[in-house]
């Protein structure tokens, strides 16, 4: 199923015995005293309330984030993934949310493009860990392409000390991170600036990639799964990312766990064109297995917070 991963993935309350109570009543034995019976009925009547409160919280979380991974929801509501999966099915039946592979989303809504301000507010722990693993896949003397995104920008910072490296990019933050690196030649594609991502797009960017050949293209979309592959909310971004993928011998996707299992409006490349996926240790293992079935080699960056667990 591919090369070994760079780092390993980290991988009921007691109830009253109802049958005993019924048997005792049928045999004429004394049942529980009134206080015990009241507590028993009360504890069972409360269960739907607990489920309702939990589902309200799940709905609130999904509405706030647009999409959420199953593991993240389970962590927030302090319930098992099995329980949360059942809650999601119930909420979907009411038309309140949509089930997605490995999580849930607002009904009828695909993940939106995250702007630079939103990305700046997002904790960088996952991106940094992913970038460090991705950087180990770049050798001195390489020619690589790097697309826009928080994780790819972090990758660029990790590459600052490399030598004899050529980086082709349409992302201004990537170019800025490498501008002062003495051993790196940065080639900008040209094109029209898309301000929300600080990336160059359009026909000029596409044409600049025609005829170029690089060893690896490092891309970051807003969603990746085994059905659609890598996707992004914006057509123009997708076209340039696709051109980068076509110019590369191998495609490396950098995606944290919130993007693994998600899907967005425009497919960039199909799953069988994703040579490598670098993600973090909170990614849904079912989705990772599906991608591996398409031939993708999965590399898991273990977060510092997960070490020793």
- The fold for domain 21-105 equals Arc Repressor Mutant, subunit A (1.10.10)
State mean pLDDT over 195-210: 91
Q: Which CATH number does the domain 116-306 belong to among 3.30.390.10, 3.40.50.1360, 3.40.50.300, 3.40.50.720?
A: 3.40.50.1360
73-104, pLDDT tens digit by residue?
A: 989 998 988 898 889 888 888 878 888 767 88
Q: Does residue 155 register a pLDDT over 90?
A: yes
**pLDDT given for residue 211 in this prediction:** 87
**Is pTM, for the whole model, over 0.85?**
no
Question: Which residues in the chain are classed under CATH 1.10.10.10?
Answer: 21-105
Domain with CATH 3.40.50.1360 in the chain: 116-306
Alpha-carbon distances of 121 from 54, 92, 128, rounded to whole Å: 27, 30, 14
pLDDT in tens, 58-67: 988 888 777 7
Predicted pLDDT of residue 144? 98
pLDDT value at residue 161: 93
**Tokens 């425009």 correspond to what residue?**
266
**pLDDT for the residue numbered 308:** 57
pLDDT per position as a tens digit, 238-286: 999 999 999 999 999 999 988 898 888 899 999 999 999 999 988 889 9
Give the separation between CA 183 and CA 49, rounded to whole angstroms. 62
pLDDT tens-digit profile of 33-74? 544 444 433 343 334 447 888 988 898 888 877 778 888 898
What Rg, from alpha-carbon coordinates, does the chain have? 24
pLDDT at 214 over 90: yes
**C-alpha to C-alpha distance for 172 and 170, rounded to whole angstroms:** 7
The pLDDT-based confidence of 132 (bands split at 50, 70, 90) is very high
**Measured between alpha carbons, how far is 202 from 209 in angstroms, rounded to an integer?**
11
pLDDT at 122: 46
């Amino acid at each position: 199923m591919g090369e070994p991963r760079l780092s390993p993935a980290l991988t009921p309350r007691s109830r009253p015995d109802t049958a005993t109570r019924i048997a005792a009543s049928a045999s004429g034995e004394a049942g529980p005293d009134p206080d015990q019976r009241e507590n028993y009925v009360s504890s069972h009547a409360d269960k739907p309330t607990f489920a309702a409160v939990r589902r309200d919280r799940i709905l609130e979380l999904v509405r706030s984030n647009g999409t959420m991974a199953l593991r993240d929801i389970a962590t927030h509501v302090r319930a098992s993934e099995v329980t949360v999966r059942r809650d999601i099915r119930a909420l979907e039946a009411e038309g309140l949310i949509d089930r997605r592979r490995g999580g849930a989303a607002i009904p009828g809504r695909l993940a939106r493009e995250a702007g630079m301000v939103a990305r700046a507010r997002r904790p960088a722990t996952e991106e940094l860990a992913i970038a460090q693993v991705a950087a180990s896949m770049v050798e001195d003397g390489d020619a690589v392409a790097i697309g826009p995104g928080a994780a790819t920008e972090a990758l660029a910072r990790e590459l600052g000390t490399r030598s004899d490296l050529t980086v082709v990019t349409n992302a201004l933050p990537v170019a800025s991170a490498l501008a002062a690196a003495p051993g790196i030649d940065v080639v900008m594609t040209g094109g029209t600036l898309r301000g929300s991502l600080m990336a160059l797009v359009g026909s000029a960017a596409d044409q600049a990639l025609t005829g170029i050949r690089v060893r690896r293209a490092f891309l970051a979309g807003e969603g990746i799964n085994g059905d659609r592959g890598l996707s992004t909310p914006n057509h123009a971004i997708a076209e340039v990312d696709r051109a980068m993928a076509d110019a590369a011998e191998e495609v490396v996707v950098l995606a944290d766990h919130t993007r693994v299992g998600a899907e967005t409006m425009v497919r960039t490349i199909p799953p069988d064109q994703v040579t490598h996926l670098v993600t973090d240790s909170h990614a849904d293992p079912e989705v990772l297995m599906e991608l591996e079935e398409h031939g993708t080699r999965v590399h898991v960056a273990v977060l510092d917070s997960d070490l020793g667990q």
